[in-house]
Structures are given as C-alpha cells and as structure tokens.
Structure 1
C-alpha cells in the first residue's frame, strides 16, 4: 500500500470513529443509551383518555424503557386499531360488541381500570330556570324528538338544543342503551353530533338552551351543570354504590394476551400509584 492510500485509510478510520463516538453522546454532552425505548401505543375512548394520559405521563417520567403514547378517536376506533395491530392497547367506555367479536375474533382481553358515570348536562340558564332533575321518560322524549321545548319540562319557553356523540362513541352507545332502550336507537331530536366529550361540553356551554351528555370527569363548574337523573345526582358516592343509573366501567383491552411492554403499563395503571392517578383524574378507582 503506497503512502497516499495509507493516508486515505487513516482518514476514513478517523471519521468512522468520530461518527461512532458522536452516536453515544446526546445534545447535552451526556452519554446516551445505545438502545431506544420501546413504544406502546394506546388509542380509543375520549372518556378514558384523560386518566390514561395522566398515567402515561407519570410512567414516562419514572422509567425510560417503555414509552407510552395515547390518542383518542372513540371506543370503536380503539377496538378496531388494537384488533388490526395498529395499537397495543385500546381504551373503551363500553364492552366489546358482539359484531366486533364476529369481525375480529374472540381474542379481546379486558382490564377494568376505573368507574365513571355519564352526566346529563344542561346550559347554566336552563339549570337556573329550574330544570335540575330529569326522568328516563323525559330524557328519552327529548332525544326521540317528542319534546322540543323546555317549557314542557318546567323550564323557559326555549327550543331545546340537544347535543349527542357521533357513531363509534362508547359514551353514545351507553347512553342509547341505558336511556333510549337500544344501542341502535334513532335519536331524531338531536340537533348536533360531536366526536368527543370536549366538543359536547363546548357546544352546551356556548348555548343558553342546550342539553348533552358527557363523561363525569368533564363536568367542571362554570356554565355546564349536571342534572340529577331518576332523582339521583351523579357523584363519587352514587357511582360507587351503584345508585346512579348511568354508571359504567371503563376498560383497557388488548387483542390476545398483552405483550410484555403493554403488560407493564397496564400493571402500572392498576397499581396503587396508578389508581391514585385515576382518582386524581376525576374517576372512581377500580380497586
């Protein structure tokens, strides 16, 4: 090998050494791990999402082996994504439907993580006018289009602005099943449909004549008021003892047994620390 070739070889080796060394140093000059953290994708119910996001934030802070990402889309989206391998864990505010088992197979594994309630909410003006309690018959009549004015329910002479969730929402399915009598019930009294609890909350608070339904943790003072249903107000106590009729369990689902990384996160959510986060997020712990 002649002298120019030797010099070229030395230069190449030197550059390679620099690249290898720089790959082990992060931007702050600290030694970085040569392996990236595994990722666990969670998707689904916007009702379950706040508690899972809070758990994921804590989980991602206390360890660096498994990073959890969380997206919404509704219970139906989460169940579809986990069955098709696009998510590791599904969030759902309802049970898996028979038709979903037919479509994807009977391999769903359920992990109840909390209890919640569907709160029936009205605009502040409607609540102040005296509409503070609705029976199943009254609520069903509103969403069936049989009652269209608040004066028929002891409220002001205002047309009812009824807000509901879009198809695919676990909250919608639970509401329809418990109030309307069927998950597939028609709701011709609905004025607008929305894709998330947050959108329903915004629609009701921006109106002075609206009614809607949201997960209990979305009720936070201001101009959004939860009414009693069948004479029982939604609260932690009435959810725990089962006296509030619109209570429900919240789930995580995997398709088949969870992988080791997904299992670690599910175990964290169900741990004492995770269940404390569930309570802090406005839900009733499963334990």
Structure 2
C-alpha cells in the first residue's frame, strides 16, 4: 500500500469514531417515566417520532404514576406520565408542573376465565376488593375462593379504580403488582383471580373482561361516561418544557397521533369526549 493512501486511511479511521460520538452527543434526549397505562402509546409515538426526527432520543419507562410525578418534580426526567391529576398526590406541588392531557383510557375489571362470572355490580366489585365477598359462588360463579390482585400503591390505575369503586373504603390486603402487563399474566394463569387493567392491555382472549351493571367495557361507552371507569392520561413537565420536549408533546397532541395511533392502540382521543372529569371526579358535560 502506498504511504499516502495509508495516511488517508489512518485519518479516516480516527475521524469516523469522532463523527459518531459527536452525533450521539448532539441527539436531543427526552426521558419519559411513569404510568404503565400510558406506556404503550408513548412508546409507539416515540418510535414514530424518531423516524421523522433523527436527532431525537426518546426513552420511555414505566414505574407508575407516583414515580412519574415525583421524578419530573425533582427534575430527574423531562416528562412524568400519570393517570391521575398531580394535585391529588401527596408530596407533589402541582403548581410547579405543566399538565398536558393527551388521551383518555378505560379501566376494566378482569378475572380468570374459569370463575364463571361475566358481570358484576359496582356494589359487588366493592365488596370483593374490600374483602367482604370471598367466594365466586356469592356472585353467581363457581364455588371457588376469590384471589384479589391489586396494583401497587402509587399506581394511577389503582387510585382511579379505588376512587370510583371503593368510594373511600379500605382495600383488602392482597398481592400487589406494579404493571398492567404483569397483572394480566397472573390473572390469565391463576384460577380464582380478579384484578383490573387499562383497556390497551385487555386484548387477551384468555382473560374474562367483567361488565359493570351490564354495561360492556367498550371504548364507545366512555365518551358519555356510560362506562364510568376511565381516566385522563397526563404528560407533566416541570414548568415550561424545553424546545425538544415541547415539540414531542405537540406531536402527541397532533392530528396524526390523536386520530390514528390513539384509537389503534386502544385509547380515546381527548377530542372525542362528551364529558370532562376534574380532580375530584366530578363529571360535567362538555359544552354545557
């Protein structure tokens, strides 16, 4: 090899690694932590966004709404996702956070297929999750002990479920899990179990979705509050977001995500709602 060519190759070998290091350092990292209920939407939106914005680096993690809110308040992440309003959480100063509701998600009680029950009243659900009803035969099912699987404390899904179903009563002591996906797997494989998950995870034919007062858990029933178990999905930032984070939130709130991706994954666009709900769970007709 000629000396001049060797020198060119040597320079190139030194330049290429430096080029890639420079590119990786210039990528705009957005870390998003919190609600496992919102995680499928944010992950897919992030993947789609990266394809069109090669300088972006969006990292999405679960951990629960409480974790998301505490992490964004501490400035450890750019976005904290939550199923609940920040002002309802102890230790969170909602005045320092910016709230971006990006979707609505339904919550559905689920049971193992073998329990023999497809419908429960609100009163029966409350009695099961407070430990008053202990056997499936008490609600028309098999003679089988009821095993309650709860979400961990700090879960926005749990908070919403307990606010709307238990109405201030204490939940029974039970096994707790920190994600929708884990809950679904346990209910699927464990006889006698009951729990609840968000709609986007409830696409498994091996679990029994439970109707409430003979209303089916269907996204069509949520915009009018006919199906009452639902919550907003929030993206919170600490104060005004930086330019990169603001651009991604704008993308999530945009037409493409709201009209295509949101319903595809199993959420409801905030623009489809006929009612609104405040932090005290008061429901109001929109436009009235």
Matched residue pairs, number?
Answer: 264
* 8 A Cα contact 1:238 1:244, kept in partner: yes
Q: CA deviation at 1:65?
A: 2.3
Match of 1:280 among 264, 272, 276: 264
CA–CA separation in structure 1 for the residues paired with 2:24 and 2:221: 51
| Cα 1:17–1:224 shift into 2, 3 Å | same
| Cα 1:239–1:178 shift into 2, 3 Å | same
Match of 2:121 among 135, 152, 160: 135
Match of 1:267 among 250, 254, 270: 250
2:192 maps to 1:209: yes
The within-5 A match list for 1:105-184 is: 106-126=95-115, 129=116, 131-182=117-168
1:81 corresponds to: 71
Q: CA deviation at 1:285?
A: 1.4
| Runs (5+) with no aligned partner, structure 2 | 1-6, 272-288
* 8 A Cα contact 2:200 2:265, kept in partner: yes
Show CA shifts across 1:16-73 (max 9, x none): 955763346559xxxx858621101100000000000000010111111222110110
Q: Which has the larger radius of gyration?
A: 1
The within-5 A match list for 1:1-287 is: 21-23=15-17, 33=23, 36-100=26-90, 103-104=92-93, 106-126=95-115, 129=116, 131-182=117-168, 185-188=169-172, 190-275=173-258, 276-287=260-271
Normalised by the size of structure 2, how large is the TM-score? 0.85
Show CA shifts across 1:171-206 (max 9, x none): 010011111113xx4212x53111111111011101
CA–CA separation in structure 2 for the residues paired with 1:114 and 1:25: 39
CA–CA separation in structure 2 for the residues paired with 1:162 and 1:39: 40
* 8 A Cα contact 2:87 2:93, kept in partner: no
| Runs (5+) with no aligned partner, structure 1 | 1-12
Note the aligned Cα RMSD (angstroms): 2.3
